[in-house]
Chains A and B, each alone.
Chain A
Amino acid sequence: MKLAWTREEMMAIAAARLLPDGAVCFVGIGLPGVAANLARRLHAPDLVLVYESGPIGAKPKVLPLSIGDGELARTADTVVPTHEIFRYWLQGGRIDIGFLATAQIDRFGNLNTTVIGDYRSPRVRLPGAGGAPEIAAHARETLVILRHQRRAFVERLDFTTTVGYLDGGDARERLGLRGGGPRWVITDLGLMEPDPATRELVVTAIHPGVARAEIEANTGWPVRFAAEVATTPAPRPEELAALRDLRARTAAAHGRPSGE
């Protein structure tokens, strides 16, 4: 069956639905920007977008290519220095949702954005930490969005850049992190949530047209499914229209869609 939407679109829409109106969301670089700006056009017009470059309450009309485009500063309620964003607004406990992308994730929601291979002689040098370690430490909860691929969902991270639940159980609490940790992992195949006791990520929803076997094949550990796995509601026409309009306007502004 040919679906009327792409998996990429399903992923962005599924993520946008998880952002409640009025929440304060620290938007990481990449895919989070797409979902956060989509949510603002749908059910969450008062979602407060905070970018680590300094804009607070940004309301961009097109997706920025970077996290510091002029569009963000021009449309923000205020723009503050970088150290202030991290000190007063993040460390000070003002952020509800930290929204991150990553290159690798493990079963406990720990993230690697630093290297593939050995740190001193890496096979692939990735961009690095950016704001992620402290965003994931201090936000009341964290959302992580990434494509569901075996090279990304790994048994063992090459490098722990950002802590989720460490090795599970109460390890995160023992480390003294004040934020709650990963609440949702959104992929192009489904949604995962931490088991309340072990904190292992468990599949709780599967997007329409996706088979369990596909999720198993694309996860680098023996992935667990919740007792009751929901099917993600298919994108509604207004969700698709808003996403496609956002992308079209962004493409017209930059020459190609951004945030990926």
Chain B
Amino acid sequence: MSLRGKAAITGYGETAFEKNSGKNIFQLAAEASVHAIKDANLEKSDIDGIITLGPLSIDARLNLPFAEFLGIKATLVDEVSVLGASAGYALKKAAEAIAVGAAKNVLVVGSDINILKERSNEIRPFLQDYETPYALTPNNAYAMAANLHSELYGTTFEQRAKVAVDQRYNANHYDGALFGKKTMSIEDVRNSPIISSPFHLFEIVSPCDGAIAFIVSLGEDARKITNTPVFIDGAGFYNGHLTISQSEIFTNGVTTPIKKAAEIAFEMAGITTDNVDVLGLYDCYTIAVILTIEDMGFCRKGEGGRFVQEHDLTFKGDFPVNTSGGQLSVGQPGDAGAMVNIVEVVKQLMGRAEGRQVKNCEIGVTNSNGGYFSTECTLVLRRGN
């Protein structure tokens, strides 16, 4: 079943993104949610569904406690737990639930605390048995992918660094970014210490506190709710593996499950890469953006490094990606991280990106990536006016 026209984002809300907000996960979730409901000009009683994102910072699930904390009674109260892919997946699930009549206005909220401060004690089977004992962290898993990509295709440090530098330029025009007031050059990235080869520190995302919420509404009601609905026209999800040692990316030329997720989403929306005006691509590391561009089909496999070198990824450029700075510059609020990428695309499509507004923006594509290029969700979003 295609989701085209069935559901639309009608409002969004955010907290500040801070290293130490002094607030807990429910306070942050509530703040973003109330902003989102007001943004959509809806009442509390209009919200009949909630989908939360499984947090990294606490052991609890959020869905039932948060519904009560916020004071919402609903016909849909769910939580998605696909690591960093949860943001896209939650929006997909919201659209699907609306399409089958399970709810009419779903609050999708991701909230998390800086994982350097608070970390869930949740047992992570298999990862904890066979990988963590070798000291594996995401830094190392993504570094291995970046190393292999360089070995196979000649991708360079400068190409990867340009992703972080172009996004920092974008962040310098967004007040909400954690690193928005700091400029950054290729040399700055080069001079930051190497953490796990080939990654320098400034190629690695910085965790923070924060929450983002969206309202997803029944497509046929969307234009009554807002003048600027953003339709979820395509949604594709694909889970390839969990642990990095079981991944196929090291034997298939570094092709991630994004390829299949994007194929599903693009086909559902009836678009090709030529139709895309703005992108919000999961950017936990510089290499993630390059691999996503390749696997979505904007260039051939192996040419992603050259592609980012030849294109301007800023909001002023010919290939605008992560126009608020992405997670690399805005910060990564745990499993809600991909919402940073998604909310900026929504702002662009609603015409609310202020000084960063990309002109004639009609189609946006986002990707949410979980684990180690493990679990992927691509959304095709369309301006609805």
Q: Do A and B bind each other?
A: no
Residues of A within 8 A of B (CB): none
Residues of B within 8 A of A (CB): none
